[in-house]
Amino acid sequence: MARNVEFFFDFGSPASYLAYTQLPRIATDCAASIVWRPMLLGGVFKATGNSSPVTVPAKGRWMFDDLNRWAKRYGVQFVHNPHFPLNTLTLMRIATGLQSARADDFARYCDAMFAAIWRDRCNLGDPVQLAAALSQAGLDADACVALAAQAEVKARLIASTEEAVARGVFGAPSFFVGEQMFFGQDRLDFVREALR
């Protein structure tokens, strides 16, 4: 029986970025496949009554210190983005569109968006910076933005977000191995155990 881990993520979540840097290796080690599940974190927050930890100043300060500790442990670059929190609606729509229409570009797109936000401190809410990041990744910026405007793509992202909420997701990243849900990049050891 094939083993899968579903990865519900949003590019604007720094913890999703850290999970993204580790999950492929875990999947390889466990002979498992990753099912990429773009969702809109703002929609999840609204539906569940949750909010970003940065809405509590002390918790927000602690969170970024903790994320830096995890990045150091993982050996990955992580830089606080001064534009955080970001509106990722267009970014997540593009991810949803690429995943079904141009799957070959999906991985490259994810690499580029996570890097632009959490390593290069870009403001991807700015159309000029977004276009530059897409072009730098070898993607057609106009085509990507047009994809995000398609009604079918918008509906698919809404459906994915609603499914996440219906299954108990309240934040990002969230993972499912079968029916078991794990929340947070600091729960990847449990994801690994479940996959084994």
Predicted confidence band of residue 2 (pLDDT cuts 50, 70, 90): low
Nearest C-alpha neighbor of 131 from the set 86, 94, 77, 85: 94
For residue 103, pLDDT over 80 is answered with: no
Full-model pTM: 0.95
Cβ neighbours for 179, distance < 8 A, ≥ 6 positions apart = none
Mean per-residue pLDDT for 143-157?
97
Tens of pLDDT, residues 25-68: 999 999 999 999 999 999 999 999 999 888 898 998 899 999 99
Give kind and range of the element (H or E) at residue 108: helix 103-118
Predicted confidence band of residue 100 (pLDDT cuts 50, 70, 90): confident
Predicted confidence band of residue 126 (pLDDT cuts 50, 70, 90): very high
CATH homologous superfamily for the domain 3-195: Glutaredoxin (3.40.30.10)
